Amino acid sequence: MAQGFGFTLHAKDGAARTGVIHTTRGEIRTPAFMPVGTAATVKAMLPDSVRATGADILLGNTYHLMLRPTAERIARLGGLHRFMNWDRPILTDSGGFQVMSLASLRKLTEEGVTFSSHIDGSKHHLSPERSMEIQRLLGSDIVMCFDECPALPATEEQVAASMRLSMRWAQRSRDAFGDRPGHALFGIMQGGVTRDLREESATALKSIGFDGYAVGGLAVGEGQEAMFGVLDYAPGFLPEDKPRYLMGVGKPDDIVGAVQRGIDMMDCVLPSRSGRTGQAWTRRGQVNIKNARHQDDPRPLDEDCTCPACRGYSRAYLHHVFKAGEMISGMLLTWHNLHYYQELMAGLRGAIATGQLSAFVADFHARRAEGDIEPI
Amino acid sequence: MAQGFGFTLHAKDGAARTGVIHTTRGEIRTPAFMPVGTAATVKAMLPDSVRATGADILLGNTYHLMLRPTAERIARLGGLHRFMNWDRPILTDSGGFQVMSLASLRKLTEEGVTFSSHIDGSKHHLSPERSMEIQRLLGSDIVMCFDECPALPATEEQVAASMRLSMRWAQRSRDAFGDRPGHALFGIMQGGVTRDLREESATALKSIGFDGYAVGGLAVGEGQEAMFGVLDYAPGFLPEDKPRYLMGVGKPDDIVGAVQRGIDMMDCVLPSRSGRTGQAWTRRGQVNIKNARHQDDPRPLDEDCTCPACRGYSRAYLHHVFKAGEMISGMLLTWHNLHYYQELMAGLRGAIATGQLSAFVADFHARRAEGDIEPI
């Protein structure tokens, strides 16, 4: 619907899809993993390095950026792309989820939500209209509807009421967004783990009409089995010809399972956060570089990985710099993790394109089963 | 004297010199600034990035590395170059200075020094023989004699006694070092701010014979005027045909003054440490990026600088990421500072080569005088 934005589906393998999202700032190969650049930086990485891992798009957080340095300041400085030196696509979330998880003194009404900043306690307000305004000021390429995600545990009635509020906010988001060539607006399906509510939400969103559709309200503590249970049917409620985005997911095996079930886009802080806490994800599982078993190990994290951490450094070195509290530890492990995630996405895309997804997934699980998985 | 090591003087301008130190791991253009890679990393930088700033050589700290991960472990892993992924020259200090400034429960005798680790309190020992052994295990290209630097304030008698101990240790270092083709040993002149003691120290070192000579015991709180006072005569006591290294210096104007007085090599943590605390060095003085005046400033740190921080980011961005505690702040400011230092060295080398040092130095001071120097 948005000029300059489109989605081309190249191949399917079962429910899984591969294709390309076209934007005015470049193409996004799907399934895509989006590194998270919360406060206008993917932590411990320079943008050129993020790009070198294979990332086509970053995610920015409306909640963090509206508080500091503020959306208005970023707009005066030329927008988020210029501010953070990333000229490829950026998706921004709506702020709704993080208000619920980070802010204090929250007050929710039909109109929107007021809250206190977790940084300095200052008072702020978000609503569908204000979220659209902030995301416009940031200049994001893919804008997310302002939604509400109920705190768990929640009764089915609470989930239903919350979903219906989010659907009214989706209409207000659509109205406030207007027509902005080159910028896409995505709706967010809610409904918890209840099939009828998911279908009702999808029907409401489709009748409003969006450039893409997110599956929201998952990866919030329900567990992988429950999440996959929803993903077994929920993507099927959404239009075949629009991208489907699973928010906040996840671990490598979550990603593989989501792609198998028809998801095109994902984001998660896990690869970067893990990198800063000494955890590396590899094709053979996960490595906890803090473990003393690595202190004399001359091998790289992964013999076959081509990232700078694996090409240049031993596990012994990575253990040493982690223990010494050196920044290079977070820099190298984050780079490795993001590289691994993007390699995984490339592998999934290639497997879907050639109809080999089942074999790829079997190999993915087999390598991990024989690998050196360590307790975290 | 050491095979595979040499110094070629290309030009002089007054007392200042420019040339090249030849090592089996590559050439070092002089005057040279050596970034400090204390614990086997130049903090907040990847080695490729350090090289991209123009650094020909790094400094490693014997004291830190002997404690963690230990010299023996680094040797088993193939030496410091391989461990930290830097294949160009490395100079290691002897550990003596940092035992005095960092360790506790120090006990100094003619034989050497025992001390407790600042990391875990464990007991350790350093002597000329042990320092030579550790630097051999590390595989450093330029090894420093084990010396003693008296704590200030000190009487002239104390300085003299300390210097004479260091000269006896210099002989023991020379004897213990032996003949190691491709590896150079530098002597360290002591003697405080007393001309006769400096001359006595230089005479003692020359009679032992070294591949290069350091001026030690400066930049320890005596002030720039006193330091320059010593540098007005001390380099002249040293052989013309060997490199002269001023240890632990310094600020940009210290470096310029030292080069004017005949110094060929320097090292300092200042550009990297400042980078992590929000301070940038530019041709127009220094910028404190923490200052709120930068929060809306779209200009780079230095309009004419070609480093990644200045090519890609505004002062407003650098202010934001510093305030947000993001690692990219230290990464970008450190890169900028090291780039600035190496540009300064390149400028000094070019000016000496063309007999334009006076004009270069006048311009250096004039730019700073008209610049935007901020309180730190």
List per-residue pLDDT tens for chain A, 376 residues long.
688 999 999 999 999 999 999 999 999 999 999 999 999 999 999 999 999 999 999 999 999 999 999 999 999 999 999 999 999 999 999 999 999 888 888 999 999 999 999 999 999 999 999 999 999 999 999 999 999 988 878 999 999 999 999 999 999 999 999 999 999 999 999 999 999 999 999 999 999 999 999 999 999 888 999 999 999 999 999 999 999 999 999 999 999 999 999 999 999 999 999 999 999 999 988 999 999 999 999 999 999 999 999 999 999 999 999 999 999 999 999 999 999 999 999 999 999 999 999 999 999 999 987 776 554 4
Decide if B267 is catalytic.
yes
Of B13, B56, B93, B254, which one is the catalytic site residue? Answer: B93
Distance CA A166, CA B361 (A): 66
What is the DSSP-derived secondary structure letter of residue A221?
A: S
Contact at 8 Å (CB) between A183 and A141? yes
Torsions phi, psi of B23, nearest 5? -135, 165
Interface of B with A (CB under 8 A): 39-41, 43-48, 68-69, 73, 76-78, 83-85, 295-296, 298, 308, 312-314, 316-317, 319-321, 323-324, 326-328, 330-332
Binary contact (A327, B69; C-beta < 8 A):
no
Contacts of A323 in chain B (CB under 8 A): 68
CB neighbourhood size of A311 (10 A): 10
Q: Which fold has domain A6-267?
A: TIM Barrel (3.20.20)
A46/B73 CB distance under 8 A = no
| Cβ-Cβ contacts under 8 Å for A243 (sequence gap 6 or more) | A7, A21, A30, A186, A212, A213, A264, A265
The domain limits of chain B are: 6-268, 275-369
- Pick the closest to residue A314 from A334, A291, A297 (CA basis): A297
Chain B hits for A321, Cβ within 8 Å: 39-41
Quote the DSSP letter at residue A325.
T
Nearest to B326 among A41, A296, A308 (CB): A41
- Cα A244 from Cα A211, distance rounded (Å): 10
Chain A nearest C-alpha distance from B23 (Å)? 23
Spatial distance between the Cα atoms of A55 and A38, rounded to a whole number of angstroms = 15
- CA-CA distance, A310 to A330, in Å (whole number)? 14
Which one of B83, B316, B328 has the shortest CB-CB distance to A41? Answer: B328
ipTM over 0.95: yes
Among the listed residues B180, B145, B149, the one whose alpha carbon sits nearest the alpha carbon of residue B162: B149
CATH superfamily of domain region B6-268: Queuine tRNA-ribosyltransferase-like (3.20.20.105)
Sign of the alpha-carbon torsion through A344, A349, A354, A358: positive
What's the one-letter identity of residue B241? D
Number of CB pairs < 8 Å for A and B? 104
CB contact under 8 A, B73 and A316: yes
Q: Which residues of B touch A46 (CB under 8 A)?
A: 308, 328, 331-332
At residue A259, what are phi and psi to the nearest 5 degrees?
-65, -40
